[in-house]
A and B are shown apart, each in its own frame.
Chain A
Amino acid sequence: MNSWKFVLIFSALITFVAGQLLFKRAMETSHSHGFGKQFAVWFVPGIVSMTVSFFLTLGLLQHLELSYVYPFQGLSVIIISVAATFLLKERLTLQLALGALLISAGVVLVSLS
């Protein structure tokens, strides 16, 4: 279970991050194109990705404490901040980067306890 545990946690994390990016892109599209086909192109893969992440997390929760499993998602703060800068062309200020690092460090600390 031990190494599998981390493979599953990592998979849940990646599918979660991908889902967030797809959702944001979908909502950006909805500003100009409404909620039609253009929206669905981003939204549907986002839902699929999030659903996979959801069930992987549920499986992990059957074997581990919630307050242990959940904080691993905290690493997603850093991954999402970086990904939003490169993939969504959002502006990453020094203050935002610092805040993201603090939050991630805090969340990891919570998860180690």
Chain B
Amino acid sequence: MLRRALGWLGNPWLQIALNAIIVTISELCLKLGARDTAYLAHSWSWTGYTGLASIWTWLGIVFVVLSLVSWLYVLRLVPLSIAFPLSNVVHILVPLSCWIFLGELISPRRWAGIALVLIGLFVVAKPFARIEEKL
């Protein structure tokens, strides 16, 4: 039972999806952290280190670390030239969640871009599905 559950969790598709969700959460946290600290002027502030003054940045870092672990697991199983294009599903998830949670606007052109990314994902994912069937 446990092995079956672990086997299911080890599915590369699921891991790529899970990774994209973790990345999206980390991006939102980092944006909130950056927003909170944008007023902190310092000659080295272009390095972004002033962002560390916000708890959101630290929470973002936790999710970045989690996403790294899950991403390394994906890389063990899937070629980079397939895994990386698929990981770009975050370019759909991030604008959508910026719209929903941060109140940023999505212009018609941006919606068109999101649609194009979606088509690209399907084109890449199709041969990947065939490879997986062979495994």
Contacts and interface: CB of A to CB of B under 8 A. Distances in A.
Interface of A: 4, 8, 20-21, 23-24, 26-27, 30-31, 50, 54-63, 65-67, 70-71, 74, 76-77, 80-81, 84-85, 88, 90-93, 95-96, 98-113
Nearest to A51: B64
Nearest to B119: A102
Dominant SS at the B interface?
helix
Given A59-B46, A61-B30, A100-B85, A113 B113 contact: yes
Contacts of A100: 81, 85, 120, 124
26 contacts: A20-B84, A23-B72, A57-B30, A58-B48, A59-B46, A59-B47, A62-B51, A67-B98, A81-B81, A84-B80, A88-B80, A91-B81, A92-B81, A96-B82, A96-B85, A98-B120, A100-B120, A100-B124, A102-B119, A103-B120, A103-B121, A103-B124, A106-B118, A107-B113, A110-B95, A110-B110
A109 B106 CA distance: 12
B124 A106 contact: no
B44 to A, nearest CB: 9
Contacts of B118: 106
A105 B103 CA distance: 25
Nearest to A92: B81
A70 B47 contact: no
A102 B34 contact: no
A109 B75 CA distance: 28
B81 A27 contact: no
Contacts of B14: none
